[in-house]
Structure 1
Amino acid sequence: MKKLIFVFGIALLTLTGCKNQEKKEMVVEENMDVMVSEVVDDHNSQNSLDWAGVYEGVTPCADCEGIKIVLELNNDNTYSLSMTYLGKPLVEPLKEQGEFTWDKSGSKVSLKTEDQPIWFKVGENQVWMLDGDKNIIKGDFEKLFILKKSTN
């Protein structure tokens, strides 16, 4: 489509070449505006990545060795979440299942849980657990809040 507009613009300039320079510049500028306005990037995590699958990681824990998290995101927008407190054999793993929704940008998902939503940013073969403001957790422990996609 861009090439067609460009070729049309060149043909129009050639046909009106005998007229004054001012009109030539105006036609080129109008065609450039059309070409620029048609460039829209609709790529996001939801429609560009192979996001469905199982993600795993161990996040920090204040009173245990860590929390092993296993998150499964399914193509039908359902999820399964398991959180196991490592070093605490008497504590039962927490398990949740339900539906998730994408945010408007198509880059974050919200797990609908019994308590409050849990947010993740979806990337290439990994998801980031987000803080209460839906931002990536920064700092010394930043990498510990990334769950990697399982290849099994």
Structure 2
Amino acid sequence: MKRTALIFGIAAITLVGCKNGEKKEASSEKSLETVDSAIVDSHNSENSLDWAGVYEGKLPCADCEGIKTVLELKSDKTFTLSQTYLGKPEVENEFTQNGEFVWNNLGTMIRLRSESGHFQFKVGENQLWMLDDQRNVIAGDLAEMYILKKKVE
């Protein structure tokens, strides 16, 4: 009787051990698939989108009707940014900046380099989202006003 109990005990331990091994193998294969798909799919805004072009929008303004903003991104990574303060006297209400822009390491955001300041944008399909100082998309009631739409030519 003891011999039979011992044989059943060994058999049970062997079966449990084999099932755990199968789970570990399946888990390992699944994690490898996840890693492989992340490596293979290296598409980002910089290399997958037609980002060069003219983007327009009306940014919020504390003491005017809004800031008409026109940003041209050129394929040589230069830009022209024009901003017009709406509802202000025409004397000195329009500002234009030229400069270069750089992509972040992930190829999802750009930073405009100019003498008067740095603007940052998340680049999406036919639109740019203005980012705050912490590189976050601006949220809240006025969030839609911080999006520049690509002008269709």
Question: TM exceeds 0.5?
Answer: yes
CA contact (8 A) 1:56 1:71 kept: yes
* Count of residues paired in the alignment: 133
Q: Residues 31 and 77 of structure 1: is their aligned pair in 2 closer, same or farther, counting only changes over 3 Å?
A: same
SS at match of 1:151: coil
Residue identity (%)? 48
Q: Residues 74 and 24 of structure 1: is their aligned pair in 2 closer, same or farther, counting only changes over 3 Å?
A: same
Residue 91, structure 1, aligned to residue 89, structure 2: no
Residue 116, structure 1, aligned to residue 117, structure 2: yes
Q: Residues 138 and 22 of structure 1: is their aligned pair in 2 closer, same or farther, counting only changes over 3 Å?
A: closer
CA contact (8 A) 1:121 1:130 kept: yes
* 1:80-99 per-position Cα deviation (integer Å, ceiling 9, x unaligned): 10000111122341111110
Between Structure 1 and Structure 2, which shows a larger proportion of helix residues?
A: 2
TM-score if structure 2 supplies the norm length? Answer: 0.76
Deviation at 1:116? 2.8
CA contact (8 A) 1:98 1:113 kept: yes
SS at match of 2:144: helix
Deviation at 1:38? 2.1
> Which residue in the other structure is 1:42 paired with?
42
User: Which moves more between the two structures, 125-134 or 23-32?
Assistant: 23-32
> Which residue in the other structure is 1:104 paired with?
105
Matched to 2:83, the amino acid is M
* 1:97-148 per-position Cα deviation (integer Å, ceiling 9, x unaligned): 1100001111110000103321011111100111111111110000000000
Structure 1, unaligned runs of 5 or more: 1-20
Partner Cα distance (1:24, 1:133) in 2: 45
Partner Cα distance (1:51, 1:95) in 2: 21
- RMSD (CA atoms): 2.3
Deviation at 1:34? 5.0
Q: Greater CA radius of gyration, 1 or 2?
A: 2
Deviation at 1:26? 8.6
CA contact (8 A) 1:120 1:130 kept: yes
